[in-house]
């Protein structure tokens, strides 16, 4: 039995989701692999400088920023983080080397940014012949030193042509650039459950035939949801909302405490996002790669914002939405009423919905095939090899 370790962390929610989705689909495929999820923060806590001073893990501090919308100037915080990582590079590599020696594996997968140079160097020092793979869980890289590192031993799995071109521009060996058809999604989004929204809406005490938006701002929610809901309520639009607050119970309590005139369903953390999206007509949220990919899987156009407060690594996602004509991008959610009015226009909505439905993403099933090939295994389900189907250098 082959051993595969997947490195993730809990900054945001998409990295854990990606790791758990890979683990789940590999289990469904009954491959002869043992998958171990490795929480990166658990390995490196003693090098977390910010925790020493604040008592709060760096990933928790990141989530607090997201919940409260304190993201203006986040590019400078990113530069500070990257400088700190470079400063701690040698002790970090030594720490990781010790872990890999005690916990051997046949293949190492990273679904996190920033730390791939240290992860790769430590891994190849211990196991020079065993592959290291970074799965980019953003629509594009945010160079330099975000996802793709200037190291020859790193395979990178890219979900968009933009990410592929970035890897090539950075001088990456084309044979180590592996292309999939999109972002990792939980297998639930591919289930054959009924997509009829009427019974799903009725189960939430919503009107069966009214235009429905689902608001989703990541696994930790955002207080901007309260302002969005109030603005749409005041506009008196023929609309109803599903509000997914994630682990932000304070926000969920505030939303439930209001007496809304329009139909509103508030929910906290849930594993049923795929079902809630199937009850909706469009998504309102931040331009996160995960929520956009989930919306596309459910054929939902998106209504997002992009401005100085948007995380720098997520700004390309807004460009992608415009290029693919799958949603509306606002400068600010203060204009959310105008954006929803466009969604309510039948001609506009029909075009956006058609374009969203035309997106094809099978990455969650393609990545195990890639991993099998890197392990030197034949994969009867794929009928391919790296040279013909995934490696950019062969195209």
Are residues 286 and 219 in contact, defined by beta-carbon separation less than 8 angstroms? Answer: no
| Tokens encoding 312 | 């720098």
Angle between helices 224-235 and 249-257 (to 10 degrees): 20
* Cα(61)–Cα(308) distance, integer angstroms: 20
Q: Nearest CA to 303 among 279, 265, 278, 331? A: 331
Q: Nearest CA to 178 among 151, 205, 200, 159? A: 159
Check residue 388 and give its pLDDT: 45
* Full pLDDT tens readout for the chain, 395 residues: 899 999 998 765 688 899 999 999 999 999 999 999 999 988 877 665 445 544 555 555 555 555 556 555 566 677 777 778 888 889 899 999 999 999 999 999 999 998 999 999 999 999 999 999 999 999 999 888 899 988 889 999 999 999 999 999 988 889 999 999 999 999 999 987 667 899 999 999 999 999 999 999 987 788 899 999 999 999 999 999 999 998 899 999 999 999 999 999 999 989 899 999 999 999 999 999 999 999 999 999 999 999 887 888 899 999 999 999 999 999 999 999 999 999 999 999 999 999 999 999 999 999 999 999 999 986 555 444 454 455 654 44
Are residues 289 and 183 in contact, defined by beta-carbon separation less than 8 angstroms? Answer: yes
Model confidence pTM above 0.85: yes
Check residue 65 and give its pLDDT: 56
* Cα(255)–Cα(362) distance, integer angstroms: 36
Are residues 293 and 363 in contact, defined by beta-carbon separation less than 8 angstroms? Answer: no
């Amino acid at each position: 039995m082959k051993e595969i370790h997947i490195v993730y962390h809990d900054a945001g929610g998409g990295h854990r989701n990606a790791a758990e989705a890979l683990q789940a689909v590999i289990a469904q495929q009954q491959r002869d692999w043992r998958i171990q999820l490795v929480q990166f923060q658990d390995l490196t806590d003693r090098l977390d400088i910010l925790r020493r001073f604040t008592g709060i893990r760096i990933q928790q501090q990141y989530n607090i920023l997201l919940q409260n919308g304190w993201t203006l100037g986040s590019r400078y915080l990113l530069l500070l983080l990257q400088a700190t990582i470079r400063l701690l590079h040698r002790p970090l590599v030594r720490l990781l080397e010790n872990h890999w020696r005690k916990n051997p594996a046949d293949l190492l997968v990273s679904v996190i940014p920033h730390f791939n140079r240290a992860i790769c160097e430590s891994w190849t020092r211990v196991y020079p012949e065993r592959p290291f793979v970074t799965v980019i869980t953003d629509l594009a890289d945010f160079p330099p030193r975000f996802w793709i590192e200037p190291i020859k031993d790193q395979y990178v799995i890219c979900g968009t042509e933009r990410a592929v071109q970035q890897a090539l521009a950075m001088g990456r060996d084309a044979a180590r650039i592996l292309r999939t058809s999109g972002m990792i999604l939980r297998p639930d989004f591919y289930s054959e459950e009924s997509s009829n929204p009427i019974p799903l809406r009725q189960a939430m005490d919503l009107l069966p035939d009214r235009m429905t938006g689902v608001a989703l701002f990541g696994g930790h929610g955002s207080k901007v949801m309260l302002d969005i809901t109030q603005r749409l309520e005041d506009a008196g639009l023929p609309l109803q909302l599903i509000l997914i607050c994630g682990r932000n119970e304070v926000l969920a309590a505030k939303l439930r405490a209001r007496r809304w005139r329009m139909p509103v369903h508030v929910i906290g953390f849930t594993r049923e996002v795929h079902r809630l999206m199937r009850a909706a007509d469009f998504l309102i949220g931040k331009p996160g790669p995960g929520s956009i990919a989930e919306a596309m899987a459910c054929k939902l156009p998106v209504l997002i914002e992009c401005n100085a407060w948007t995380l720098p690594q997520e700004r390309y996602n807004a460009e992608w939405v415009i290029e693919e004509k799958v949603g509306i991008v606002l400068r600010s959610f203060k204009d959310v009423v105008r954006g929803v009015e466009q969604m309510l226009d039948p001609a506009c909505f029909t075009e956006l919905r058609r374009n969203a439905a035309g997106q094809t993403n099978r990455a969650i099933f393609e990545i195990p095939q890639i991993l099998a090939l890197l392990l030197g295994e034949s994969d009867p389900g794929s009928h391919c090899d790296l040279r013909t189907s995934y490696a950019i250098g062969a195209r």
